[in-house]
Amino acid sequence: MNRIFLFIILLISFSSCEFKNKDIIVEGAIPESISYAKGFSIEKMTNMTLLHITNPWPGADQSYTYALVEKGSEVKKGNGIDAVVAVPVSTIVVTSTTHIPSLEMLGVSEKLIGFPNLDYISSEKTREHIDIGAIKELGKNEAINTEVLIDLSPDVVVGFAVDGNNTTFNTIENTGIPVLYNADWTETHPLGKAEWIKFFGALFGKQKEADSIFSTIERNYNEAKNIASKASSSPTVLSGAMYKDVWYLPQGDSWAAQFIADANGDYLWKDTKGTGSIAANVETVLEKGQNAQFWIGPGQFTSLQQMQDYHSAYSEFEAFNTKNIYSFTNKKGATGGVLYYELAPNRPDLVLKDMIKILHPELLPNYELYFFSTLQ
């Protein structure tokens, strides 16, 4: 995902299909356990696994069903099946840095052979593969170099979409390479994003490993949340920053707001409805948030001086003057990729521990911040 898009998105039920293909056996389908994610579901069948994408992008009025079959199967696309993928996958192209940690945790990062905007990848392990030429540059995400991708001939391309009008994906599909939508970024619960590791587990025949990894993350997250609940107070929290003179803050039902709530913080805009961002003017934010004790996630700023140079109003906030502003933008990979954008959706347990350490340092005395650091 490009940085502007990530900046904005950081600030459904299952629809059954009637399958008529003679190779599809609907009797005895066993749903896989999906506890938090709302955008996908998995069904195990006699001769395949069905991967349903029920919310491919915000406000989508369509869903997708992908058939994951053993190599050599005769199941074909059509009749309710949007793509057929022979599994386990041997080679893959992904298009968002949030997909990288799932491949690494499942031990299949060497299967990645192409990615757009390689500089955005921060993982040291995957950068080693890039450095030896094992992963090819595919250009910009908005305009993937289809010639290079088609020449790579991956078993599958995993993409994401803001809407359903992606002509590049259509071009790729017309060559016979299956394209699957991954909508991890649309999830609003922190554990919902992390649960998309099960999507990749299904592709690589590593469902048990994916379940185990997610269960560990879930347990860690809930244990941290329980620790936070024991805090004697809930400090007030401000978030976001100005972008072209418009201040974007997370809405009350958003991913970012959920972290603050689970860390036992009092996010001052927690009562707003919605999962995206609030667009406000600086006067409105100053009136409500001037005395906030903490400021978490001040946009792309990397220092207090940079903030003050951008707009003098920033220095009027208490959190600015007490140096209680925490950002994730200072921790980057070798080529400038922000670690948080890549890993945080997959490791919400670490994000929550960071939040608790910031708001209630006495509760985690030996913990060191993983993603965040104090702006200086």
Going from N- to C-terminal start, the domains of the chain cover: 12-218, 231-374
Helix H, strand E, coil C: the string for 145-182 is: CHHHHHHHCCCEEEECCCCCCCHHHHHHHHCCCCEEEC
1 CB-near residues (< 8 Å, 6+ apart): 9, 96, 97, 98, 120, 141, 160, 185, 341
State the sign of the Cα–Cα–Cα–Cα dihedral 279, 285, 288, 292: positive
- CATH superfamily, domain 12-218, is Nitrogenase molybdenum iron protein domain (3.40.50.1980)
Give the model's pLDDT for residue 35: 96
Within 10 angstroms of residue 331's Cβ, the number of other Cβ atoms is 16
Strand 30-31, strand 156-159: pairing:
unpaired
Give the model's pLDDT for residue 237: 98
Task: Go through the chain and tell me how many residues it has.
Answer: 376
What average pLDDT values come out for the chain (376 residues) when binned by 10 residues? 44 32 50 93 92 93 94 82 96 97 98 97 97 96 91 97 85 95 95 98 97 98 98 97 93 96 98 94 96 96 94 96 96 95 97 98 97 97
Give the model's pLDDT for residue 22: 33
In CATH terms, are 12-218 and 231-374 the same topology?
A: yes
Give the model's pLDDT for residue 3: 44
Q: Crossing angle for the helix pair 207-228 and 255-262, nearest 10 degrees?
A: 50
In the block, residue with structure tokens 């094992």: 134
Helix (H) or strand (E) holding 287: helix 282-289
- Could you give the angle at the alpha carbon of 261 between the alpha carbons of 4 and 310, nearest 5°? 35
Give the model's pLDDT for residue 19: 34
CB crowding 67-87: b at 16 or more within 10 Å, else e: bbbeeeeebeeeeebbbbbbb
CA–CA dist 333, 356 (Å, integer): 25
Give the model's pLDDT for residue 167: 87
Which 3 state secondary structure label does DSSP give 217? helix
Cis peptide before 101 (omega within 30 of 0): no
Q: What is the CATH number of domain 231-374?
A: 3.40.50.1980
